[in-house]
Amino acid sequence: MANIGDYRKDFDILNSGDYVYFDNAATSQRPNQVLDAISNFYRTANANPLRGLYDWSIAATDMYEDSRRVVADFIGAATPEEIIFTRNTSESLNLVAYSYGLDNVSEGDEVVISVMEHHSNILPWQMVCRKKNAKLVYLEPDEEGVISKEEYESKITDRTKVVAIGHVSNVMGVTNPVKEIVAYAKSKGAIVVVDGAQSTPHMKINVQDLGADFFAFSGHKMLGPMGIGVLYGRKELLENMSPFLTGGEMIEYVTRTDATYAELPHKFEAGTVNASGAVGLAEAIRYLQNVGFEAIEAQEQKLTALLMEGMSKLPYIKIYGSKDPKKHCGIVTFTIDGVHPHDISSVLNDDHVCIRAGHHCAQPLMQFIGEGSTARASLYFYNTEEEVKIFLEKLAKVREVMGYGA
Ligand SMILES: Cc1ncc(COP(=O)(O)O)c(CN[C@@H](CS)C(=O)O)c1O
């Protein structure tokens, strides 16, 4: 069994200088194995997949569809046809809103989301409710970001058609009780869309066990390349949905006035697909499975505990979310009295420490917690205790650099 620290050698960017990368919730870094898999595709099998009858195109198609099978197994889908490759979580969630929401939400219906959602899981549902004259209902968490049973049972009703919920908040780090929310939503006749962008990189996902009707995530947050995302959808729902984007590849037959569409999953994959991205994502999945989610979770929880314990010694720092480091999924959002989060990020960057500052595409949540913006450190399994020590040392200097007393 490899030591968790043995994997860092695979990430050249992390070993190329003195940078401390603590913005993994925005995007992760990539191991050489993923970069090599993408390069290998272009060096040995680069052709337009699904269309050609010649060896290279057949090889490209095989690599693409093999990647789909890897993704299906990774998240426990019933069949690979339930896996739609998109560009990212945002596109996946928009696909559900446009192709399922507009056809199934009617005037007077309700769509339930939480105030913690990322804009990618708010704006599509605002669009659906505006176009269909339906009502958008917000679940509100407690101070630690927990959505209570009373809260979701009071707001998910017989009028609810869709529940769209983040699995893990990109700000609070909290893991929502998705399995319980799904069960209750189904008892009320609603379907559930789960935004898995911040959970899939950090924990074992089984969409059938969760009971999710749709599940969305991005390759770039879990060691994969940018530009490849996944939408899982229950086959019987996908089969009855209109296409989202139309054009090449997703058709059976086209006349001047009409068209019939391809079978799943190709009905939802218009144009030339991101085959190299899918191949890179499949390699990223194999890499994560080799590391193991138990080891990933243990390392993240150890580092988050060190981080939060060190930050708690600085009285002018406020941490959002749970006080329990085990309930942060590696995400620690904070403010420093008297210092704008953008200045926190800039001062830390002067010391080569990379964190996110701003609203994190979660402005309703910022309004809910009474902040315009916050700073956020987000860890992954390849970060180290030494990096946490460096972060804490530099963080302790920020106020001084900004002209405040230590
Ligand atoms: C919960 C959640 N849901 C959807 C998205 C969108 O993922 P895309 O791959 O950009 O489509 C994200 C991406 N959040 C990044 C960029 S704002 C962050 O720094 O927190 C997310 O965290």
| The predicted structure's pLDDT at residue 1 | 67
Angle (CA) 325-326-328 rounded to 5° is: 70
Which ligand 1 atom is at minimum distance from the Cα of 229? 9
List, in order, residues 6 or more apart from 11 with CB less than 8 Å away.
Answer: 29, 30, 31, 32, 382
For residue 362, report the distance from its CA to the centre of ligand 1, in Å.
9
Q: What is the pLDDT of residues 259-309, one digit of tens each?
A: 999 999 999 999 999 999 999 999 999 999 999 999 999 999 999 999 999
CATH topology identical between 4-27+293-404 and 34-289: no
Which portions of the chain are predicted below pLDDT 70? Answer: 1, 405-406
Residues 6 or more apart from 81 whose CB is under 8 A from it?
235, 238, 263, 264, 265
CA of residue 1 to ligand 1 center, whole Å:
32
- CB within 8 A of 234, min separation 6: which ones? 78, 82, 213, 214
Secondary structure, 3-state, 183-200 = HHHHHCCCEEEEECCCCC
CATH of 34-289, one of 3.40.640.10, 3.90.180.10, 3.40.30.160, 1.10.510.10: 3.40.640.10
**What is the pTM for the complete model shown?**
0.98
SS3 label, residue 17: coil
CB atoms within 10 A of CB 300: 26
- Model pLDDT, residue 406: 54
Mutate to test the pocket of ligand 1, among 361, 366, 373, 379 (most ligand atoms within 8 A of CB): 361
Q: Any idea where the domains of the chain sit in the sequence?
A: 4-27+293-404, 34-289
CATH of domain 4-27+293-404: 3.90.1150.10
Asked if the ipTM is above 0.90, the reply is yes
Question: What's residue 305's pLDDT?
Answer: 98
Calpha distance 283→224 (Å, rounded): 8
**What is the rounded CA–CA span in Å between residue 236 and residue 230?**
18
Tokens 């500052």 -> residue: 357
CA 63 to chain centre: 24
What is the pLDDT at residue 171? 98
Cα distances (angstroms) measured from residue 333 to each of 58, 313, 351, 371: 47, 16, 19, 12
Q: Give the pLDDT confidence score for residue 2 in this predicted structure.
A: 78
Catalytic residue status for 361: yes
pLDDT of residue 128: 98
